[in-house]
Amino acid sequence: MIKRTIFQGLIIVMGFAAVWFGFSQLDFMKFFQVRERTTNLENKLGDMIWYEISNTEDIVTNDTLIKTLDSLINPLCEANDIERDSLKVHIIIKDEVNAFALPNNHLVVYTGLIADCKRQEALQGVLGHEIAHIEKNHVMKKLSKELGYSVLLTAAGGSKGGAMAREILKELTSSAYDRTLEKEADITSVDYMINAKVDPKPMADFMYQLAMESNLDAALYWISDHPESEERAKYILEYIKDKKLKSKQTLKDKDWKAFQEKVKLE
């Protein structure tokens, strides 16, 4: 009787183990097609918002300017195993000092930001920050939190552009990510720069410069929409304090200045 009980117990344990092992081999996200649905949603939202932007804003089509911006982005991608072709980079002719990420890997840069950066490394720091938002999936996390998944599904199921696209765009451009995500994007950008041998100090200087301007212009959206800029500049400098930095400029000074001048003429 005891042996039978022990045997039955072993059968139960082995059956439970087999079931557990079987379930552990399943990719539940894939099994329920959550990944595919989320990707499709993100793709639709990103393309819908970009469609709205492209029909309402002036877009830079000058190949020289686009290639020059690419030359600043490429080292960050190459040194950090980021697929450059996965990023859809756009330059918008606008005086606002701003850059922002959209769903589906869209990265929008305003000419006002390019013109306002004293150093090319500062621009690379901002670009790295937005790329980090894309790579870390911060964009969809923010939208899901602020607007709700059901709202996003409704938006993606509608026609291209329209009021819903403008509402989502407003959420991405007029309010900051929460502090945890912002700090993660800042530090990730610094790591991108260090790996690419790009000096990260100008990124901190840029934040501090704008944060300390006594008459902060309403057009300085990138800083005004990212709170505690002085604090962020300090923790970036603290993060790199004991690191051995090897840096080199991506563009020659004359090419950087020429890039800025051409951007101002757009």
- Which tens digit of pLDDT belongs to each residue from 191-225? 999 999 999 999 999 988 777 764 455 445 555 54
In a domain, 24, yes or no: no
For the residues 93-109, what does the mean pLDDT come to?
94
Distance (Å) of CA 82 to CA 216, 231, 252: 34, 28, 24
**Count of the separate structural domains present in the chain:** 1
Strand order in the sheet with 88-92: 88-92, 106-110, 99-102
Task: Return the minimum-mean-pLDDT range out of 23-32, 49-58, 167-176, 202-211.
Answer: 23-32
In a domain, 73, yes or no: yes
| The token pair that represents 94 in the structure block | 């606008």
In a domain, 131, yes or no: yes
In a domain, 7, yes or no: no
Block residue for tokens 């670009």: 127
In a domain, 46, yes or no: yes
> How far apart are the C-alpha atoms of 148 and 168, rounded to whole Å?
11
| pTM confidence score | 0.82
Residue type, 147: L
In a domain, 241, yes or no: yes
Report the mean per-residue pLDDT for the chain: 83
Distance (Å) of CA 201 to CA 128, 169, 232, 234, 264: 13, 30, 12, 10, 25
* Residue numbers of the domain that contains 216: 35-264
